[in-house]
Copies of this chain bind each other. A is one copy, B any other.
Amino acid sequence: MKKISVGILGATGVVGQQYIKRLIDHPWFDITYLAASVQSAGKSYGQAVEGRWRLPEALPENIKNCYVHSINQVREASKLCTILFSAIDTQTAKIWEPQFAEAGLIVISNASAYRNDDAVPIIIPEINADHLKLVQRQKELKGWKGGLLVKPNCTVQSYLLPLHAIHQKAPIKRAIVTTMQAVSGAGYPGVASLDCLDNIVPYIAGEEDKCASEPLKIWGTLNADSIEPAKYPIFSVHCNRVPITDGHTSCVSFEFLDEKLDQDEIIELWKTFEGPPQSLQLPSAPKKPLIYRIENDRPQPRLDRDSENGMAVTMGRLRPCPVFDWRFVTLSHNTARGAAGGGVLNAELFIRSSQEEFQEATMNLALSR
């Protein structure tokens, strides 16, 4: 199979570097375009990240000499690649992502800039792969030759998949969630070490709203030109920054809408949970998207964040909630599943979305939500 040309916007940042790591040996994709801000543009990638390459893995040799384009050379990008991973900040994304989509690229974004846009789906492949249809509609709605799809906030990933496995069987009415989020979620340099050592910051700007609203769009109903958000469950999410390098942990208490499931049923749903990435055998898909640990002190960030190459969500401690029905702890790797890994999985899903198997794999998704 001929490889598909892909590019990375914001290639020199922490998430950009992780895209390189996940794409460098990818069976379907070939990195053919890198872009970054003015300071880096015009340099080789090796020069641009000198002293700023933050990954344990060495910078791949064949990437070192790649030319770093300026972000404003949109037409150039459209000649050099088909899919563009966007790892730029929200302000920059606001301006530039539509221009790349207009120029014919499929933009897969980590930024929050267009998560509220009616015509742009927020995709978690196991939950709402069918929302990808909206990307086709963007040609008409937006006048784009290409398209734009986004992934949710990295924190959402920690609790949404385990709740979804339950919700599609027995609807959930409401949930109160407290997150303990790793510093890598704030990028680099991000959180100051004086705020982080021996300390908790019980506030992350804008995060709690996103954590409550994005799930409802993901669980929403696809209409002709937009997604109508789900009404349930109602979320209250408390967000905290804690002294952890990687891995967002959430404590969740939830209440069913009508029918209640018992502990064994929920654990069974988690153990057997699968979605389109698994049935389509996407290269980045975790074999088990949900892992339930029976030990009473798991999940723990250091021990569980790298499960399935950082693409699985690990849960533990499902137990009765004295106030609601059940409560549990859940963890996902915020820069793997929650950022570059999730982006690559979305790209793989998009590639397969024109094929017949995709229809089959996603036909029941809408019903299950």
Contacts and interface: CB of A to CB of B under 8 A. Distances in A.
A243 B295 CA distance: 21
A302 interface: yes
B238 A307 contact: no
As for how many copies of this chain the complex holds, the number is: 4
B51 A296 contact: yes
A173 B161 CA distance: 30
A200 interface: yes
Nearest to A299: B202
A240 interface: yes
A50 interface: yes
Interface string A34-62: 00000000000000001100111000000
A301 B191 contact: no
A240 B328 CA distance: 12
A224 interface: no
A43 to B, nearest CB: 16
A191 to B, nearest CB: 4
A302 B201 CA distance: 10
A1 interface: no
Given A176-B253, A238-B329, A297 B203 contact: yes
Interface in A177-219: 178, 180, 183-184, 188-203, 212
B212 A238 contact: no
B202 A193 contact: no
Interface in A282-336: 295-307, 316-317, 321-324, 327, 329
A180 B200 contact: yes
B189 A317 contact: no
Given A180-B200, A253-B236, A245 B192 contact: no
A96 interface: no
A197 B243 contact: yes
A235 B176 CA distance: 13
A244 interface: yes
A192 B189 contact: yes
Contacts of A191: 192-194
B297 A202 contact: yes
Contact of A245 (B50, B180, B194, B329): B194
Contacts of A244: 197-200, 243
A198 B200 contact: no
B245 A251 contact: no
Contacts of A132: none
Contacts of A316: 202
B323 A176 contact: yes
Given A51-B297, A180-B180, A190 B190 contact: no
A300 B53 CA distance: 12
A174 interface: yes
13 contacts: A50-B295, A175-B323, A176-B321, A176-B323, A196-B197, A197-B244, A198-B301, A198-B302, A202-B316, A202-B317, A234-B322, A235-B322, A245-B302
**6 pairs of A and B residues whose beta carbons are closest in the complex:** A189-B192, A178-B178, A193-B196, A238-B251, A236-B323, A203-B297
Given A176-B253, A178-B178, A189-B194, 19 more contacts: A51-B296, A56-B303, A56-B306, A180-B240, A183-B194, A190-B193, A191-B192, A191-B194, A192-B192, A193-B195, A194-B245, A197-B245, A199-B244, A200-B242, A200-B301, A202-B251, A202-B300, A234-B322, A243-B243
